[in-house]
Structure 1
């Protein structure tokens, strides 16, 4: 059997003092925890240090992808578990991760199934479960440079799904969630505008209607009850904001 690998849990955070304790408690068993603070004005750094976390700071925001890269650069473990302050590792998932540390496979990254909370309900449909994300991986891998909706560069690696959920407290407050979605839409539009991407007015409408239909019907959002219907509307609104912003950016230059 190969030697047990060391695990570094890595987070980026800003003003997450209220959410951090439960998050950190769920990963307290890791070999080390790294937190890169993005300029918190609350007690985020103090809370992290009280759990023995190694805290670093970078207020020159480069986008989510590069911020995760910088956070990972401070880790010393053989494997990285990338999580957020609003996520919790369940006991079953912990066992799966520890099994990997005891018996690692070459050229392999591991996907975690997220269980997403939306207005008091952990969704089971709507495209939100199992919301698999590649979050456990050897330290040789890293995130891409995307400003938002960043992902792990996995190359030709094998992706193995792990048992157990990563609980994600996605939407506890609708207004807070909507503000976050609006900032994501802005970053998405700006990045694609910089890449020379454009969209037509018809694309705004078609993508918006498509987002609602995909969530509510194709992904069985109707089985998630009232929250499923609201989520379908929120996804449609988010999609509208993305494409409308991209359309607006390209037309502003034409004045």
Structure 2
């Protein structure tokens, strides 16, 4: 008889006391919950401990990728489920994960979860936001890359297996808070690209911005998401503008426009 693999839920957080209860309740069935706090000034650590999470702290911020590596280092389970405070595991997804845990270990497989993304009161079904598959369930032998933003799991040659069910993602509940987060992501993206020697010209700033709007609204059928789809097309264009404008401002193009 196959012994069930132990599951460690791993999270990196800061000032998420409001969102944590529902998130932690949705993964309360896991064997352990590891939470790495980045210096919260609210009740985040206390709330996490109330739900049985093991809380660790790291005040130095190396970027999202390395912070996830640090958090995972505290986990003891054979399988890792990496989630964020604004995500919730649905019962259907839990059943899928349990099947993986009950089966024999598959070291050459990682698992993608389909996310339902909330944008201003609507779970989006188009606009490039669905099913928004992310690899979040995997054997502990894998880890995240070092990217400061838009980090991802280094899957090497592993087979990516899609799971049914959804990971609900409360992406945008507060428009202004969402915009502030997008601006921070854009700044970090630009800095990382600049450090890698990337530059862009003024034409790239506007061509990428227009492309992002058309891709979201037309190519990805954002108009089918109603008013939220139109707004998201503008938001994606604005985010793209901020990224490339910030990169342009860090230094002039030295070899033409580069993506």
TM-score, normalised with respect to structure 2: 0.96
Please say if 1:233 is aligned against 2:234: yes
- Contact 2:116/2:166 (CA < 8 Å) preserved in 1? yes
Tell me the residue number matched to 2:36: 36
Please say if 1:96 is aligned against 2:108: no
- Contact 2:199/2:252 (CA < 8 Å) preserved in 1? no
> What is the rounded CA distance, in whole Å, between the counterparts of 2:132 and 2:154 in structure 1?
18
Please say if 1:21 is aligned against 2:30: no
> What is the rounded CA distance, in whole Å, between the counterparts of 1:144 and 1:106 in structure 2?
19
> What is the rounded CA distance, in whole Å, between the counterparts of 1:249 and 1:79 in structure 2?
41
**Post-superposition offset of 1:3:** 1.8
Tell me the residue number matched to 1:139: 140
> What is the rounded CA distance, in whole Å, between the counterparts of 1:53 and 1:105 in structure 2?
27
Q: Deviations over 1:19-64 (max 9, x none)?
A: 0000000000000000000000000000000011000000100000
Moved over 3 A (4+): none
For the residue of structure 2 that corresponds to 1:152, the secondary structure is: coil
Question: Where in structure 1 are there 5+ consecutive unaligned residues?
Answer: none
> What is the rounded CA distance, in whole Å, between the counterparts of 2:218 and 2:252 in structure 1?
33
TM-score, normalised with respect to structure 1: 0.98
Tell me the residue number matched to 1:83: 83
Tell me the residue number matched to 2:187: 186
Tell me the residue number matched to 2:221: 220
**Post-superposition offset of 1:105:** 2.4
Number of residue pairs matched?
A: 253
Question: Where in structure 2 are there 5+ consecutive unaligned residues?
Answer: 254-259
> What is the rounded CA distance, in whole Å, between the counterparts of 1:12 and 1:62 in structure 2?
12
Matches within 5 A, 1:144-155: 144-155=145-156
